[in-house]
């Protein structure tokens, strides 16, 4: 049996957004969420605790989410942790920059808060997959993570809303 997604490190500078995301991930999906309000705090959290996945806001004052991810990647365990970015910038160049820098997925704001846990599970399982599922590449990203389009999410089955 594979690893189970349980602990999420959330980097979000806007408190109201962080509270909503945390509530959804904890109440709907059953995850344990640690919130960091800035990049330096996220790095310190990662140094002292283990996380299964990191969910980072991209554009923030001071240290960006991308800068924080790059610093965490240099820490023990950092290379083995998948990163998902939230961003209000839905242009392809921004997405490409994040993906080429090592993000496993990018989620455009605004997003469906009720699907967020299922999206993290998709990324986590794709990242953990030791062998490809028929028709998939090893460690391939979920279809919805490939572009800024949200069209695939609209067709997501109701199973995405079940508690894991």
- In this predicted model, what pLDDT tens digit does every residue of 66-84 receive, in sequence order? 999 999 999 999 999 999 9
Whether the ω angle into residue 110 lies within 30 degrees of 0, i.e. cis, is yes
The pLDDT of residue 146 is above 80: no
pTM of this prediction? 0.79
Asked whether residue 89 carries a pLDDT value surpassing 60, the answer given is yes
Pick left, alpha or beta for residue 62 (phi over 0 → left; psi -120 to 50 → alpha; otherwise beta).
left
User: Which of 18-32, 51-65, 130-144 is predicted with the least confidence, judged by mean pLDDT?
Assistant: 130-144
User: Is the confidence at residue 157, as pLDDT, over 50?
Assistant: no
Residue 108, pLDDT score: 87
The 7-11 sheet, strands edge to edge:
32-36, 7-11, 53-57, 83-87, 105-108
């Amino acid at each position: 049996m594979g690893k189970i997604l349980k602990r999420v490190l959330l980097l979000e500078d806007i408190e109201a957004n962080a509270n909503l995301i945390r509530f959804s991930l904890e109440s709907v999906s059953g995850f344990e969420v640690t919130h960091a309000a800035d990049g330096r705090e996220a790095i310190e959290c990662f140094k002292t605790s283990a996380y299964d996945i990191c969910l980072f806001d991209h554009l923030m004052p001071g240290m960006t989410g991308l800068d924080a991810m790059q610093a965490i990647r240099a820490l023990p365990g950092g290379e083995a942790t998948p990163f998902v970015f939230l961003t209000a910038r839905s242009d392809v160049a921004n997405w490409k920059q994040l993906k080429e820098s090592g993000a496993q997925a990018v989620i455009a704001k605004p997003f469906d808060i009720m699907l967020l846990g299922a999206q993290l599970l998709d990324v986590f399982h794709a990242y953990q997959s030791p062998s490809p599922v028929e028709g998939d590449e090893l460690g391939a990203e979920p279809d919805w993570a490939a572009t800024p389009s949200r069209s695939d999410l609209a067709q997501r089955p109701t199973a995405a809303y079940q508690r894991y």
